Amino acid sequence: MRRKRCRLNVHPRRRSRPGRYNFCGHSSPLLLTRMQAMQRRHFIGALPVALAATAVPAALANPPATPVYKTSVNAIDFGVVADGGLVDGTDNTAAMTQAINYCIEHELELILPAGDIDLRGGLVIAPINGGDALKISGVDAGSQGSRLWIKADAPALTIKTQCTLENFGIIGDAVQVGGRGQQDGVLLYGVKLNAQGENQGIGNIYLRNIVFDRCQNSIHLFGIVFYSYFENIRWFSCVNAHVNGAGDPARDKPGYAVAFLQCQMTPPSGKYGFYLENAGSVVLSDCALSPAKLSEQCFRLVSNASLSGIHQIDNTVFEGSVKEALRIDGLGTPCRFMFFSNCYFNQSGATADAITLVNAEHMYFSNCYISGTNAGVTFLGRAKKISLTNCEFQIAGSVPVIRTLPGAAVHGLDIVAPNYDGAQRFLELGNAVVGEISRIHVLGGVLGVNPSPVNCQPQDANKVMILNTNNIQTRGGGTASFSGGTSLFTIGHGLLGKPSKFSVVPGNAAAGDAEIRWVEADSGFIRVQCKSVASSETRWVWNAET
């Protein structure tokens, strides 16, 4: 019996079925031996559409001895027309969907033409027919390059599998129309259920040289998204957040690990720079959010994932937001393990602080510049193991540089070699809950010119240690005089906390005749017990240092 010929479902403009293109670490090439054995397999892509639909000529009955491989296709081949942008052009949603699905299935790179590609519906990058990876490349991310214009209440690109995006722009109309709740530039949707209903997430996401503008959210993260790298990303306007890490806890198992490298945010509008919930691990390196001109925070972390790693931010500028440049909100569970090095924090609002820490633990700042129109660092809620090392403070407001608000608790605050030359109190701990201050250490540095740069409640004074600073509260000394008739002398040292070093020696003959038995000190006084009662005025020369 004669077998029925099998037609391949390929694009009509293709000349042959392409081999698999290896760009994700795996490949499945078509073997020549297998192709030669499949004598009844026909290649019809080179035929005109009408002819291909009716018959196959004898000349193309067998494949060529050496197949022609292609590694990429152009979106134009699928009917994409780049004639949109500020004016409404061709709706390319269907054509782009066909191109994306075809390239995923055959593991081909999709090339975008130069120009403005209108979309009146969202595009989805998801596994199809065994293919699970895609690369989309444009000509350039600038105004003369390739740009996707999303004109719908939907994400421009919903990513559900590994992919690489580079060298094009993603433009929305949410800013223009006053908001579209679902319009994300890119939605990384880490929901991938296996047979047991478990969310296994997605990974291996790379975005390079991408420009985002005018969307509701530029980048949105849902569920488990890991090993995602964003390099040389530029953000301009948005409605809500340029990076939104808020998902639906009832549906999306939280936890994402993302890295942003050499990215720049210079938006004329938007609420948040980074708004992150349920973060697994976040890295920012050599980035600039300046001048951000945001109505909320440059960077706000609301909560960590249950199995989160560390968050590393270095060589990054957070500047120009109306509210805090950095706000950490540990809702329910404290936010933990954030390392900031060589960063610049500055906000422009009249009442906001540069940094606010709410229920934060293991926060480490080194070589940072902290400035603004209000406080530098404010503690609200519970803070534990906070470190500020070699930080510069430039505060223009009338409030303390580092302070607690009512209800705060601070257990473990190390400030090493700070530099502040202003007139405000440097460290204000007086608003903390009684008994909720412990292990406060200030070592070295300059604490400004305020005569009382450090303050706390009297019952907490012995829990605050200040060493080797320019603070007059850390050193004391002089001559204390007493009338005769006693053998116990109490000298008020006036220091903040119990001295770590102190000494008392006789200052006149009467003190020498009394003979010192022992000397002790607490948070308020140095006490001298003598062997004999002094019969006349007694003087003691003393020194103390906390």
253-277 residue pLDDT tens: 668 899 999 999 998 889 999 999 9
pLDDT tens across 322-379, in order?
A: 999 999 999 878 999 999 999 999 987 777 899 999 999 999 999 999 998 889 999 9
pLDDT-derived band of residue 18, with 50, 70 and 90 as boundaries?
very low
**Phi, psi angle pair for 138, to nearest 5°:** -110, 180
- Rounded Cα distance, 354 and 373, in Å: 8
Please give the model's pTM, rounded to 2 decimal places. 0.77
DSSP 530: E
**Region 85-94 average pLDDT:** 95
- Rounded Cα distance, 277 and 300, in Å: 9
pLDDT-derived band of residue 64, with 50, 70 and 90 as boundaries?
very low
pLDDT tens across 220-242, in order?
A: 998 888 889 999 999 999 999 99
Q: What is the pLDDT of residue 327?
A: 96
CA distances from 420 to 263, 392, 396, 403 (A): 30, 6, 11, 14
Contact between 196 and 219 (Cβ < 8 Å): no
Q: What is the pLDDT of residue 194?
A: 60
- Rounded Cα distance, 108 and 59, in Å: 28
Residue linked to tokens 């400004």? 448
**Region 398-424 average pLDDT:** 94
- Rounded Cα distance, 18 and 28, in Å: 11
The letter for the amino acid at 92 is N
Report the share of the chain in percent with pLDDT over 70: 83
**Region 385-399 average pLDDT:** 93
- Rounded Cα distance, 288 and 518, in Å: 60
Q: What is the pLDDT of residue 245?
A: 92
Lowest mean pLDDT, pick from 43-52, 127-136, 304-313:
43-52
Contacts of 5 (CB under 8 A, 6+ apart): 40, 42, 56
518 SS3 class: strand
Give the residue from 391, 386, 393, 346 showing the smallest Cα distance to 367. Answer: 391
Give the residue from 118, 254, 244, 239 showing the smallest Cα distance to 181. Answer: 239
CA distances from 431 to 273, 427, 439, 440, 460 (A): 31, 11, 16, 15, 11
Statement: residue 191 has pLDDT above 50 = yes
pLDDT tens across 451-490, in order?
A: 888 888 888 877 888 877 766 677 788 899 999 889 999 9
Statement: residue 120 has pLDDT above 50 = yes
- Rounded Cα distance, 283 and 310, in Å: 9
The letter for the amino acid at 73 is V
**Region 19-37 average pLDDT:** 37
Lowest mean pLDDT, pick from 194-203, 461-470, 496-505:
194-203
pLDDT tens across 282-300, in order?
A: 999 999 998 878 999 999 9
